[in-house]
Amino acid sequence: MRREWLLLLYPRAWRARYGDELLAALGRDRLPVSQVIDIVRGAIDAWWSPEVRRATAARPLLACDRGHAAGITPRDGLIGAAVMVGGSFMLAILSVTATRAGWPALGRVGTDLGFLGPFTLSMPFWLMPGTSRRAQTTIVGITLALLIASSVISNVR
Amino acid sequence: MKQQRDSLAELGRFSEPALYIMISLAEGPKHGYAMTQDIETVTGQKLGPGTLYGAIARLETRRWIEPLPVDERRRPYRLTTAGHRVLRHRLDSLQTLARVGRARLAEG
């Protein structure tokens, strides 16, 4: 008997949550009868236990998988957010300082880049997971160069 | 012996498999297959997959264990802080029970 067929004994929500794990836990050896009986008992429990049904129905996608499904780890998300917030803060300070120091054009460049600059720098962490470091550097570098160039051309004479 | 509200005993026929799972996870995160291997080594009992995931679902509902992101199609689990507390309480109870049992055997 194909082991996937045994999974059909379980409720759909249970299969969605634990199906792959159960198949992986079975290993590759031939299934002894005792294990088949245990799987059938587990299926009866999955249908009849309100606790198990509630647990599997309420969580089609685990919190730890929401980012992981896209290849993003919580650490990547935090670093990306830190780059966004930190970069915006630093550019805001630069913009204010330059304007007060008598360089309004540089201040306007800082303002232009205030959101797009840090966003571009944070892209490798949440928009480009899995791509090579070289590709990330190239894309981010070219985007930043274009942003800075367009801002300088439009603000500095 | 007074029972805590969040006792493992309330898991019925899953209380023993749940205890084994928690003891296995006390060593560090493991996926289902690694848990059954570890439990078999420690207790000599091979948990069936239906029993294993019945117990895992109950432990997860109570937030005594928590799932981690899938690693090569296998999902590891780890013991939570609440799980540590419940496991410690259960092991203390078993230790007391064993001590009383041994003392009575020695008397008898």
The interface pTM score, or ipTM, of the predicted complex is 0.82
A24–B33 C-beta distance less than 8 A: yes
Per-residue confidence (pLDDT) for residue A130, from 0 to 100: 57
C-alpha A5/C-alpha B21 separation (Å) is 26
From the list B51, B57, B74, which residue is nearest A55 (CB)? B57
> Average per-residue pLDDT in chain B?
89
User: Taking 80 as the threshold, does the pLDDT of residue A72 lie above it?
Assistant: no
State mean pLDDT over B11-32.
Answer: 93
Find the CB nearest A21 among B51, B69, B74: B74
Q: List for chain B the helix, strand, coil content (%; round to 5).
A: 65, 10, 25
Amino acid type, A73: T
**Largest separation between any pair of C-alpha atoms in chain B:** 55
- Of the pLDDT bands very low, low, confident and very high (cuts 50, 70, 90), residue A1 is low
Confidence of residue B4 (pLDDT cuts 50, 70, 90): very low
Q: Is the pLDDT of residue B105 over 90?
A: yes
The Cα of B40 is separated from the nearest Cα of chain A by a number of Å equal to: 13
Q: Which residue of B has its CA nearest to A44?
A: B50
What are the residues whose beta carbons fall under 8 Å from the beta carbon of A97, sequence distance 6 or more? none
- Residue of A21, A37, A52 with shortest CB distance to B54: A52
Mutate to test the interface with A, among B21, B46, B53 (most CBs of A within 10 A): B53
Looking at the complex, does the CB of residue B60 fall below 8 Å from at least one CB of chain A? Answer: yes
